[in-house]
A and B are shown apart, each in its own frame.
Chain A
Amino acid sequence: MSSPEVLVLSEASSGPGRYVGLVPCLLVLLFGLSTGCSSTSQLDSIQAQLRDLQQQSLQIQKQTSSKQEIADLQEAQAARGEGLLRAQADIQLEMQEVASLIQQLEAKLEDTNYRLAQLSQQIAATNQELKTSRIPPSLGPLPNGSANGNLGGGIDPGAQYQTAYNDYLRGSYDLAVLGFRQYLENFPDTDLADNASYWIGECYYRQRKFREAIREFDHVLDRYPNSDKLASTLLRKGYAHLELGNQDQGVLQLQSVIRLYPESDEANLSRQQLTSLGIAPPGR
């Protein structure tokens, strides 16, 4: 910032209109001088008055300059504010773009997961077929450990998962648990194995068998560390603990959801649940 004086000078040269108020005073003075009665004391007095006037004029100049300064400051402030707003808008726009990019990526991920699941089921089915075709029909009953004849027809992993999941959707939770367990026995490594395990926990949860549910959710967490069901698993495990009255355990799980998957729907649900328990959810 330049000093006020400099500003004043430049203003003074460019703005004579500011001193219009002084002109009549000076005129009166000059008129007084020219009309006689010019004793020394009078002259002194006039000089003193002139000094006063000069001082006042300086004062006024100063005031004017600080007013100007404020105006300038305001102008600068406004310009800066506008710049900030513009930057903020830019950031918001970028955020929106990022958000929609994330959504698009999520959609792509969903798509990929979907296709992966299809492939993995197909691979399981092919393996199943291979296994079956390797057993010569003349051998008769299958040897021990080969799921007592289950393999005979070559079970379709898709069909088995479907049956179990349909039972879950229908609300036949006992049947669904059996079906998913069978699926896990036959196909422990497909892309849907973690889902099968998760749904077993979910079935128990729906039946209010919370201890069994927690055991199953722990199984998902231990056995499938890369599962796409982990956020759901932690959340449900937390809910199950809360249902059992284990508030500390429950809260711990919900906090984990928020820490590990802060942007997930499960994290939002955890925040709501914690808030309703009167506990501040951990920050992002």
Chain B
Amino acid sequence: MTRIPSSIARFSFAVRPSVVRLALAGILFIPTLAWSQVPQPQADVAEDLPGNSDVTAVIDGGGMAQLRLAFPSITVRTGTAADATAAIGAFETALREDLEASGVFEIQGPEDLAVLALTGVQATDFELYRSLTNQSVLVAEAYQEEDKFVVEGRLYDLASQQSILGKRYRGTFDLSRRVAHTFSDEIILYFTGARGIALTSIAFNSDRTGHKEIYLMDYDGENIRPLTGHNSISMSPAWAPTGDNIAYVSFFAGAPGIYRVDLATGAKQPIVTDGNLNSSPDFSADGRKIAFTRSIDGNTEIFVADRDGSNLRQVTRSAGIDTNPAFSPNGTKLAFTSSRAGNPHIYIMDVEGTNLQRVTFEGTYNDGADWSPDGTRIVYATRRGNAFDIAVTDLALLDTKVLTTGMPGSHESPTWSPDGRRIAFSTTANSKSQIRVMTLDTGEVKTLASEGNNMSPDWSPYPPR
């Protein structure tokens, strides 16, 4: 339990060294682009392009090393109608944003590459890209096929001039962003060995209609859509790790109950509505159980029930307040907030109640823990002075690092992205709450939703492949 020797307080993500990936030529597959929630249309074709070599792009371990990628403008074939051209433009914008946001690349776009006198001869042009220290180039061509657009994208290793990844996508015009996210995730997977998160989404709570409702948005803050319309107070959305349900708290029936919405059908089911003051639900790893907080006789304790509300079991018993449970990713542990030691702090214990351990010792109020996807760290809100900051604690040594030091406002409700490289949270400043995303490698912060007050983000798991 040593106090942050800086050498071991690692928050950078380690890029897997040399991932060898043979793009399997000619194998056609149709990924399920629609994986959750209401009608998410899908690109009807995604396939590998033939002719990729087994040349491997190597990113050395060492975390921050970025791959230098040239990404010239996408070539649009002549004869492409205006609406198809617009869709291709949206695709290109989204793809650039995704690759940039991934933090994996240092990208040279059309403006950077404008200094080059390109010839149209591939071998010559690749040498030119390379002269600007680029290691790879992403070349894409797009065209129209009836009411759909088609993009063929290819990654080349500039040293060997070999194609290392080739993909063809076809989809209707309204799917341009989604197709871009899909392609981006493939590229990230190729280079890092870990899936990109461009197809993930974030559930949150917003009062933009005047009532607090649950919403979903894409990971980049686009495509915001409501999940509830109870015209009451609905809050605390929590994804099932299986990606098919979101639990939430709503007051629409009077006393606060816990409900879930089935994302495929939009149907809403009560989970627990009896008893007093049910709050802060969290799904277990297999999506079958739910942990939540219930107030009994003025004391707040944590309960676990099956997701239909049966098999209710009390798992904490203390004189203090126990609240905000969170299942660990492999389902064996629960993190929660307890005031049993005076001030609220984060504790972890086995789901069976064994191995109770206090894990936060700094700050006057620690709350709202979320586990890192690998289950070795927790992120939570910690009060330092008058406002809350976001902090990460390594559970092995209890090293703690505050992420939002010096950032104006009060920061709460952190949630980890499924690749473990980002944290979304809500910041309240000047009486307005907004959702923000921090990239852990760089500390870069981006604000996502802006209409009304937006709070309690919960990042989805990876969509099923």
Contacts and interface: CB of A to CB of B under 8 A. Distances in A.
Interface of A: 99-100, 103-104, 106-107, 110-111, 114, 117-118, 121-122, 125, 156-159, 161-166, 169-171, 191-192, 202, 206, 232, 235-236, 265-266, 268-269
Contacts of B333: 169
Given A162-B8, A165-B395, A266 B376 contact: no
Nearest to B375: A169
Contacts of A269: 352-354
B319 interface: yes
Given A118-B2, A202-B355, A235-B354, A158 B342 contact: no
Contacts of A165: 376, 395-397
B298 to A, nearest CB: 14
A156 B330 contact: no
Interface in B1-35: 1-3, 5, 7-8
A163 B374 CA distance: 12
Contacts of B320: 103
Interface in B52-68: none
B230 interface: no
A122 B399 CA distance: 13
Given A103-B342, A166-B374, A170-B375, 18 more contacts: A103-B319, A103-B340, A104-B341, A104-B342, A107-B341, A111-B361, A117-B1, A156-B7, A157-B2, A158-B2, A159-B7, A164-B396, A165-B395, A165-B397, A169-B374, A171-B375, A268-B353, A269-B353
A158 B5 contact: yes
A163 B354 CA distance: 22
Contacts of A111: 361
Interface of B: 1-3, 5, 7-8, 317, 319-320, 328, 330, 332-333, 340-342, 352-356, 358, 361, 374-376, 394-398
30 contacts: A99-B319, A103-B320, A103-B342, A104-B341, A104-B342, A114-B1, A118-B1, A156-B7, A158-B2, A158-B397, A159-B7, A159-B8, A161-B396, A163-B396, A165-B376, A166-B374, A166-B376, A169-B330, A169-B374, A169-B395, A170-B374, A170-B375, A171-B332, A192-B1, A202-B355, A236-B354, A265-B317, A265-B356, A268-B353, A269-B352
Nearest to A206: B332
A194 B320 CA distance: 29
The 5 A-B residue pairs with the shortest CB-CB distance, nearest first, are: A107-B341, A117-B1, A165-B396, A162-B396, A158-B2
Contacts of B361: 110-111, 114
B211 to A, nearest CB: 40
A167 B330 CA distance: 12
A121 B1 contact: yes
Nearest to A161: B396
